[in-house]
Each structure stands twice: as C-alpha cells, then as structure tokens.
Amino acid sequence: MPASILNLLNDDHAYVSGQEISTRLDITRAAVWKKITVLRRRGFVIEAAPSKGYRLISAPDLAADYLLPRVRSALWKTILVHDVVASTNDLAMSLAAEEGIGHGTVIVADRQTRGKGRLGRRWESPGGKNIYMSLIIRPELSPPDLTMLTVLAAVAGARAIQNTGDIPAKIKWPNDLMIDDKKLGGILTEVRSDPDRISLAVIGIGINVNMRSADFPGGLRSIATSMRSAAGHAIARNALIIQLLREFEHWYGILTTEGKRLLLHAWRKHSATLGRRVSVTVGNEKISGIAEDINDNGMLRLKMHSGQYRNISAGDITFLR
C-alpha cells in the first residue's frame, strides 16, 4: 500500500533511502519505485536523489493516506475523504447508524451539495477551498454534557486555526468561529441518545480556509470571512485538519479524564462573547443583556438589564454596540 511509504517519509523533508523503505516494507527496490510513481501521479511531490533516497516535499490536499499516519492515535482510527457529499454530518450519521461505523472515524469532503447549519440553515460549501468534516464519537458522557462537545470542537477549531495560520480566531457562543467579528467557521453537533447516555455524536465542523470574498453569496460577504482573507495567503487544508484532530483529541482526553474545568477555561480564553452586550434570539424571543459567562453545561449566562440572570442553552447572538 502506498500508505505505508507515506508513514516512512517524514514532513521534515529528510531523505529516506530506497533500501530502508524496501527493508521496512519488505518489498523490492523496483516495487518501491513503482509505488513512488503512483504517489507522484496522485500529486505527491517526492524528490529522489541517487545516493540519498527519497524525500517528501509536499502532499496533495485532502489525501486520507497522508493524513491518517499524522493523526493516528488511540482516538482517530479511520479517515474517509470524499470529493462530494450532500452533508458530511448526514453521511456520518447514516454510516454510524446503519453500518456501525465506530468511535474515532473522521469524514472529510471537498464539497457539500447540502451542507447544513443549525435549524435547517444552509452552510455554503464550495469545492477546492475549505474544510467540511464530521467526527464520529461514541462518548462516555451523559446527555446534559452534550453541549461540551460543541464547546470542545470550538476550542479545538480556534486553536487549530491559530496554530496553522497564526490567526487569532475567537469563539462566538454557541458554535461560531470568528475573526474580527466575522464568521469563518461553524459547528453542528448531532446526537443519538439513550435515556441516560449519548450513544452517538456526530460533530460537524466547517471552516472557510481559502475562500475569497467574491466566493461568498452576496448576503454573506459582509459577515463571513476565511483564513486566507485574514492571513493574506493560502493555507494548506491538510495542515489544518491535522491540527484540528490533534487538538480535538487533546481536549477530549482532558474532558473525559479530568472533567470540564480546563476546557471551560480554554473556551473563556478564546471567547469573543464574554463581557459584551448582546441580543440573544431564542425561538421567537429576543433577550438582551451582558454575556457574563458560560456554565458547566455550556449554557450562556446572561445578565439581563433587570439585573437578573438567565441561563440559555441554545440561541443566536448578535453583538450590540
């Protein structure tokens, strides 16, 4: 499998000799060359130097066999990459429900035809630019802690954006990733629960990576942005996915072993919401006040003008000046 050669070629561009590859994979030198040729045809740039061997210069975007060895861990076991799907969340949910696809599976698509946000809203998902991914988790959490998965994905997303593009991404409660008060990502967590246990969670994450302003439909142009617009240059989607999955695993480990405290602390650090005057739309109701904190269940703690507090589990925030 070419995947195994990709395990051996490192990202530090160091040479690995043909002999070493041949020995480690137990194949002939001719077979090594053949596999290198196949990888090159797929868009991997691999340099060959007669006395030194091979080194990986760059990988094509969204190659599962490149991504997996770089994130494979106790949590992430499978990465499935598709050119086009209706919605990675829908696909993840049906694969998990019907085919029993398990904990630690990641579904990535280059494009979605029916990418979705909350409450049946649309998520713009053009091809060749962004990331759309869904994480399948069978969490050891009780249903009230469900909101923690969105909190966790938001923290992982903000930190991955920061690490990959050196962009100070913020979190807008409950599920938006922002730069300068413009949205560049969103999270959609969907679950199947038994009465006292979440049996399956699908955490959908969409991040605008290389979208340009002109790529957004007119209505979104003034409220949405991308990593490219913020950084001033293109960003490698592979690198972002690797960072995101590593960050997610890190915080998932903390959540399931140590509890919520550190995660909530990280959320507060990245929050674009706390301390601001906001208007929150909850169904048909609009409530305004100061966004004071989030509580242990990820609910927004709003201090209303009356001085009373209200905890809100889901809604849409507008920042007030």
Cα–Cα distances (Å) from 87 to 49, 80, 188, 219, 236, in that order, read 43, 13, 11, 22, 22
Which of 18, 53, 104, 115 is close enough to bind ligand BT5 by CB under 6 A?
A: 115
Nearer to ligand BT5, 132 or 252 (CB): 132
Contacts of 155 (CB under 8 A, 6+ apart): 171, 247, 251, 263, 266, 267, 270
Closest CA to 131 of 67, 202, 209: 209
Contacts of 1 (CB under 8 A, 6+ apart): 65
Which of 18, 206, 289, 315 is close enough to bind ligand BT5 by CB under 6 A?
A: 206
Q: Which residues from 122-151 bind ligand BT5, rule CB under 6 A?
A: 122-124, 132-134
> What is the DSSP secondary structure assignment for residue 264, as one 8-state letter?
H
Provide the minimum distance between the beta carbon of 6 and ligand BT5 in the complex, in angstroms, as a whole number.
Answer: 25
Helices then strands, each counted (H, E), the chain? 9, 14
Under the criterion CB under 6 A, does residue 112 sit at the interface with ligand BT5? yes
Contact 56, 13 (CB under 8 A): yes
Which of 116, 228, 237, 246 is close enough to bind ligand BT5 by CB under 6 A?
A: 116
| The two structure tokens encoding residue 293 | 């904190």
What is the distance of C-alpha 202 from the center of its chain? Answer: 12
What is the distance of C-alpha 213 from the center of its chain? Answer: 21
Under the criterion CB under 6 A, does residue 278 sit at the interface with ligand BT5? no
Nearer to ligand BT5, 130 or 164 (CB): 130
Please, what is the end-to-end C-alpha distance for the chain in angstroms? 57
- Counting residues that bind ligand BT5 (by CB under 6 A) gives 28
| Long-range residue pairs from 119-128, CB within 8 A, at least 24 positions apart, any chain | 123/186, 123/188, 123/206, 124/216, 124/217, 124/220, 124/224, 125/206, 126/211, 126/215, 127/83, 127/84, 128/210
| Residue at 205: amino acid letter | I
Nearer to ligand BT5, 120 or 195 (CB): 120
Which of 25, 77, 78, 117 is close enough to bind ligand BT5 by CB under 6 A?
A: 117
Provide the minimum distance between the beta carbon of 236 and ligand BT5 in the complex, in angstroms, as a whole number.
Answer: 19
Q: Per CB under 6 A, which region of 14-22, 66-74, 198-206, 259-267 contacts ligand BT5?
A: 198-206
Provide the minimum distance between the beta carbon of 95 and ligand BT5 in the complex, in angstroms, as a whole number.
Answer: 13
Provide the minimum distance between the beta carbon of 30 and ligand BT5 in the complex, in angstroms, as a whole number.
Answer: 42
Nearer to ligand BT5, 24 or 183 (CB): 183
Provide the minimum distance between the beta carbon of 102 and ligand BT5 in the complex, in angstroms, as a whole number.
Answer: 19
Contact 267, 297 (CB under 8 A): no
Nearer to ligand BT5, 112 or 243 (CB): 112
Q: Which residues from 147-186 bind ligand BT5, rule CB under 6 A?
A: 175-176, 183, 186
Q: Which residues from 224-263 bind ligand BT5, rule CB under 6 A?
A: 224
Q: Using CB under 6 A as the criterion, which residues of the chain lie in contact with ligand BT5 when the complex forms?
A: 87-89, 112, 115-119, 121-124, 132-134, 175-176, 183, 186-188, 204-206, 208, 220, 224
